Structure 1
Amino acid sequence: MTVYLVVWRIVLKIGYSENAGQCCSGWSRLVFCMALTVHYLGAKKMDIKWLEDFIALSEHGSFTKAAESRFVTQPAFSRRVRSLENWLGGCLVDRNAFPTKLTELGVEMLVPMREILNNLYEIRARFQVDSNQEHALVMSTQHSLSVSFIPQWYETLMLATGEKTLKVNASDLHDCMESFLAERSDLLLCYSALNLLHELDRKDVIGIQVGVEQLIPVCADSTIYGDHIEDIQEINLIGFTAEAFFGRVIQQECLSKIMNLVKFNLIYETALTESIKAMVVKGAGMAWLPSRLVKRELDNKELKHIKHFPSVDLKIMLYRHFEPRKSEILQLWKKLGAD
């Protein structure tokens, strides 16, 4: 065990009262721990998501279930927990136990890690209020929807919300959901498929379908792939990462159905739909993309729909909190006919 962990344990014993488990000097202890980290670990970077992953693991008691709750693959989740352990210099999880359980050190670190996260969230919330965010409607959404759906839907939003500024935070689905459930955004606009959004099935969240979408297979020149799937032996694939929402949907609903018929060569991989679209337009290979995103290219015949490959129907969902902080949210819901 590193000197850093020994000192941190001493700090923990000083910082918490035995009877209530409350931090006696939370801010000073937090700063002290961070300072020790910089000194003993050479200022190595630590990702806040690692702390969130560890807490999720403690709550679910399983790497698989925790990974699902964090919207990442199990191998990627395990690597992130291992990265946290490497950063700390000690083992937090007993990997020989079944079911999974925390080590003595892991149990000991759980409470201060929760407190560190809560303090950081509180600081961020204060900054958001001070930065005039209370005077805007904040929407979390996936990158592709910010490009392909919101511009066409903007008028509907503005008619319902008046002069309120719309602040759109585009990110991956995991970060969007995390921001929304932490009430750092007023609205969540996202795709829905395969029951992947079970974390939104809760009493304090209300959702409504506001559109439909299809993930369709496209390429710049479909003639090279033949007229029937039986004619295709090998194809270059421009794909989404396995952790991305589209990546999981395509793997489950498309690739799994034709992998035994066609050999796919993954030549390019990213989580960004616009990047994948650019590569497909360039003629590098084929990809599954939202139909709205490639409508213009299909109309102009820059891209072609490979119709003998499977497509996926998606819902476009809008979510709000059961008790929204801003009256404009209820006005929007009334305009959508949801209440």
Structure 2
Amino acid sequence: MDIKWIEDFLALVEQGSFTKAAEKRFVTQPAFSRRIRSLENWLGVSLVDRNAFPTKLTKTGEEFVEPMREALNKVYGLRAQMQESSAHEQMLILSTQHSLSVSFFPKWYHRIKSALGHPGISVNASNLHDCIDLFLAGQSDLLLCYYSPDIYPELERQNIISMEIGDEQLIPVYACNASVSSCPIEEIEGANEPVQLKLVGFPSGSFFGRLVQQQCFPKVPGAVHFELACETALTESIKAMVLQGIGMAWLPASLIEQELKRGELKQLPDLPTTNLKIMLYRQKSTRTEEIDSFWGYLLENG
């Protein structure tokens, strides 16, 4: 059983509809419905009358709203007590996107390791949605991620503070020894005839997928069209596929810095780039004094 399922159910009770509750939980309605169904399957009872409109709880669902809310509060209260009692033994926990764990964190660690002390830092690398979930649920002390208020606005809260610790640029690249276009790459700029590019893309629901769709595709020259060769949410996988000549892709510049220097990859001319901030987030209320000290160090030393 996932504790998020109880939070989902209580959000449904509060919002009164699957659509509004899904929006509040920052998931799609189909995914939200599956999570409610998973809770019902685990409990072995129906909580929602799916034949009623608007949304209505079953008798069992209504009876157990308060007990479930109390149980959730007790679980979080117990976790807080356990964290407090063992805080001196715990590592600082950081959640971050896969790409940042590879392209940014190792270099950043060398700059901040003197402020970490013992026993150091534990890094959880995942997709941005899961990282945000862990952070908001109090399961990580810090969140390191790319900044885009239009894609994940749930971090704009009064109980969350942040600082900019770096920047990044998403650039369109291709393997120099590969043919990814229906015409020579040098002919793309100013082309009058349609140009077809093979694309290794990010899923539309992923952070980079939404970013490319919103900030890059609208600025692509009208003669350029894309043929999707393959897609994955992992930037390292996309980088490997681009190097194999499967297609072009938009990738973080820091992730492919060495490949660009060695001439293995080259930036595509006349295609848009987009700039990103790299942000670090924390809750105003922290579980240990070490987190406050570490944050103070970052403010003083950048």
Fold conserved (TM > 0.5)? yes
Is the alpha carbon distance of 1:118 and 1:245 closer, same or farther for their aligned partners in structure 2, counting shifts above 3 Å?
Answer: farther
- State the Cα distance separating 1:278 from its structure 2 match: 1.3
Q: How many Å separate the matches in 2 of 1:80 and 1:263?
A: 38
Where relative contact order (Cα < 8 A, 6+ residues apart) is larger, the structure is 2
Determine which of 227, 234, 238 is the counterpart of 2:200: 238
* Alignment map for 1:1-339 (pairs within 5 Å): 49-61=4-16, 63-78=18-33, 80-81=35-36, 90=46, 92=48, 97=53, 101-104=55-58, 107-108=62-63, 110-111=65-66, 113-114=68-69, 134-221=89-176, 224-225=180-181, 226=185, 227-228=188-189, 230=191, 232-258=194-220, 261-337=223-299
Task: State which drifts further: 111-120 or 281-290.
Answer: 111-120
Tell me if the contact between 2:174 and 2:180 (Cα under 8 Å) persists in the aligned partners. no
Q: How many Å separate the matches in 2 of 1:303 and 1:64?
A: 44
AA partner of residue 177 (structure 1): I
Is the alpha carbon distance of 1:94 and 1:321 closer, same or farther for their aligned partners in structure 2, counting shifts above 3 Å?
Answer: same
Q: How many Å separate the matches in 2 of 1:51 and 1:234?
A: 48
- State the Cα distance separating 1:237 from its structure 2 match: 2.1
User: Could you say what the CA RMSD is over the residues aligned between the two structures, in angstroms?
Assistant: 3.5
Note the alpha carbon deviations across 1:92-136, whole angstroms, 9 max, x for none: 265874xx6333355455445545655666787788789988421
TM-score by length of 2: 0.78
Q: How many Å separate the matches in 2 of 1:263 and 1:196?
A: 25
Tell me if the contact between 1:69 and 1:199 (Cα under 8 Å) persists in the aligned partners. no
Tell me if the contact between 2:189 and 2:270 (Cα under 8 Å) persists in the aligned partners. yes
Note the alpha carbon deviations across 1:53-73, whole angstroms, 9 max, x for none: 444444445555544444444
Provide the secondary structure at the position in 1 that maps to 2:140: coil
- State the Cα distance separating 1:238 from its structure 2 match: 1.8
Is the alpha carbon distance of 1:50 and 1:324 closer, same or farther for their aligned partners in structure 2, counting shifts above 3 Å?
Answer: closer
- State the Cα distance separating 1:166 from its structure 2 match: 0.8
Q: How many Å separate the matches in 1 of 2:190 and 2:75?
A: 52
Is the alpha carbon distance of 1:184 and 1:133 closer, same or farther for their aligned partners in structure 2, counting shifts above 3 Å?
Answer: farther
Aligned residues: 292
Is the alpha carbon distance of 1:74 and 1:298 closer, same or farther for their aligned partners in structure 2, counting shifts above 3 Å?
Answer: farther
AA partner of residue 104 (structure 1): T
Is the alpha carbon distance of 1:275 and 1:168 closer, same or farther for their aligned partners in structure 2, counting shifts above 3 Å?
Answer: same
Q: How many Å separate the matches in 2 of 1:53 and 1:284?
A: 40
Provide the secondary structure at the position in 2 that maps to 1:154: helix
AA partner of residue 261 (structure 2): D
Note the alpha carbon deviations across 1:235-266, whole angstroms, 9 max, x for none: 22222223322122122222344496544333
Note the alpha carbon deviations across 1:140-197, whole angstroms, 9 max, x for none: 1111111111100112221222333111111111221221122221111111114334
Provide the secondary structure at the position in 2 that maps to 1:293: helix
AA partner of residue 214 (structure 2): Q
Q: Which runs of 5+ in 1 are unaligned?
A: 1-45
Tell me if the contact between 1:70 and 1:174 (Cα under 8 Å) persists in the aligned partners. no
Note the alpha carbon deviations across 1:183-216, whole angstroms, 9 max, x for none: 2211111111143342222232210000111122
Is the alpha carbon distance of 1:195 and 1:162 closer, same or farther for their aligned partners in structure 2, counting shifts above 3 Å?
Answer: same
Q: How many Å separate the matches in 2 of 1:84 and 1:281?
A: 43
Q: How many Å separate the matches in 2 of 1:101 and 1:248?
A: 31
Provide the secondary structure at the position in 2 that maps to 1:264: strand
Tell me if the contact between 1:73 and 1:242 (Cα under 8 Å) persists in the aligned partners. no
Is the alpha carbon distance of 1:111 and 1:252 closer, same or farther for their aligned partners in structure 2, counting shifts above 3 Å?
Answer: farther
Is the alpha carbon distance of 1:54 and 1:294 closer, same or farther for their aligned partners in structure 2, counting shifts above 3 Å?
Answer: farther
Identity of aligned residues (%): 51
Q: Which runs of 5+ in 2 are unaligned?
A: none
